[in-house]
Amino acid sequence: MASPLPPLLPSLALSPSLLPLLFPSNPLSPQHRRRHRLPPVSASLQWNRKPQLAGETPRVVVVTSGKGGVGKTTTTANIGLSLARFGFSVVAIDADVGLRNLDLLLGLENRVNYTAVEVLNGDCRLDQALVRDRRCPSLELLCISKPRSKLPLGFGAKALTWVVDALRSRPSGPPHFVLIDCPAGIDAGFITAIAPANEAVLVTTPDITALRDADRVTGLLECDGIRDIKMIVNRVRTDLIRGEDMMSVLDVQEMLGLALLGVIPEDSEVIKSTNRGYPLVLNKPPTLAGLAFEQAAWRLVEQDTMTAVMVEEEPKKKGFFSFFGG
């Protein structure tokens, strides 16, 4: 646990970026992780804090939403990277068979040579199909099919379950997290993606169309047996909430009745980072959305939830000049 930096250095905002410097090769068994944590007596400022993994490994999480365009792929990419920076090994699977976007968001589109369809056909090994990110070696990407090929009609729920089982029993050890990026809609692609999953993260925005679809998806997930559903509310604009033009996160939670994993504010950095292929959470200094994604990833690891707070409203002026008609 020797570190060159004095213990007065702050805390959470710096530690993710310092981690690769301080602990380049980190064996990630639970015992090692416990030994690396500072004893609570010595310092009031705890740096190098890592979340404690709850639940059995590997944790298979499907990121779904129902409605398209609410930010599923962005959430998968950013939370996957945050988890990898915490030190967990993550495999992100883009379960959209026809139109894949996760490789674009991670900036790895040039390096995808083999996909899961070729693994199933026997043309290559599984570890050849996994693309490892150079910026963050704990994250690996798996795409289902090549975009130019004919739509593989044979890729169904059983195939994806086979892939996840193969990941679980691979010789280099199972990953800590398997994140499955679900396609939009509730048809065959959705059913395929949720088949191997044990938990779900539902991404939604505070508008009425997304909430209706999210409610429908919740019903379908519970039918399928996935009880552990947590919600991330994306693209939140607090200025509109204060002006009572957008539903607040409290309203959303009340309507859907799901536990809240995170609230991500609307940030133009999302578009910029997508265009560059450099995910949002790697930005230094971190943006608001990046911090929110990292906190959501923390809560995902510890299986924790948050409670929404009410945005302060304008105090209503009582009619002192009430003869004006106020």
Partner 1 sequence: MAISADLKVFVAAFASHPNYRPLKPTLPSSKIRFGHFFNGTSDLKIAQRWPQLESSATSTANPSQVCLGTGGNNLSATVNQDAEGFLLNVVNMSFFDRLGLAWRMLFPTAKVRNNSNARIAKQRLKMILFSDRCAISDEAKQKIVSNIIGALSEFVEIDSQDKVQLNVSADTDIGTVCSVTVPVRRVRPEYQDSEEDYAGKISGIDYKDTGETSGTVDVTFDFFLPNKK
Binding residues (CB under 8 A) for partner 1: these are: 207-208, 211-212, 215-216, 219, 241, 243-248, 251, 255, 316-317, 321, 323-326
Contact (Cβ atoms closer than 8 angstroms) between residue 273 and residue 279: yes
Which of 180/202 has CB closer to partner 1?
Answer: 202
CB of 58 to partner 1, least distance (A): 33
Structure token pair of residue 124? 């290559």
Shortest spacing between CB 146 and partner 1, in angstroms: 38
Nearer to partner 1 by C-beta: 56 or 187? 187
Task: Using alpha carbons only, give the angle 110, 148, 97 rounded to the nearest 5 degrees.
Answer: 90
Distance of CA 205 to the CA centre of its chain: 15
Nearer to partner 1, 141 or 247 (CB): 247
At closest approach, how far in Å is the CB of 240 from partner 1?
Answer: 8
Using CB atoms within 10 Å of the CB of residue 119, give its burial: 0 to 12 exposed, 13 to 18 middle, 19+ buried: buried
Question: Both tokens of residue 100?
Answer: 């894949």
Q: Which is nearer to partner 1, 158 or 216 (CB)?
A: 216
Provide the minimum distance between the beta carbon of 202 and partner 1 in the complex, in angstroms, as a whole number. 15
* Tokens 């800590």 -> residue: 176
> To the nearest whole angstrom, how small is the minimum distance from the Cβ of residue 64 to partner 1?
18
Hey, what's the torsion of the CAs at 103, 107, 110, 111, to 10 degrees? -80
Partners of residue 206 on adjacent β-strands: none
State the nearest-atom distance from the C-beta of 191 to partner 1, in Å. Answer: 20
Q: Least distance from C-beta 223 to partner 1, angstroms? A: 13
Residue closer to partner 1 by CB (options 140, 213) is 213
Which tokens belong to 292? 């929110």
Query: Which CB atom, from 139 or from 252, has the smaller least distance to partner 1?
Result: 252
Nearest CB to partner 1, comparing residues 29 and 322: 322
Give the pair of three-digit tokens for residue 70: 């609410």
DSSP string, 50-110: -PPP-SPSSEEEEEE-SSTTSSHHHHHHHHHHHHHHHT--EEEEE--SSS--HHHHHT-GG
State how far the Cα of 61 lies from the Cα of 75, in Å rounded to an integer. 12
Question: Beta strand pairing status for 59-64 and 228-236?
Answer: unpaired
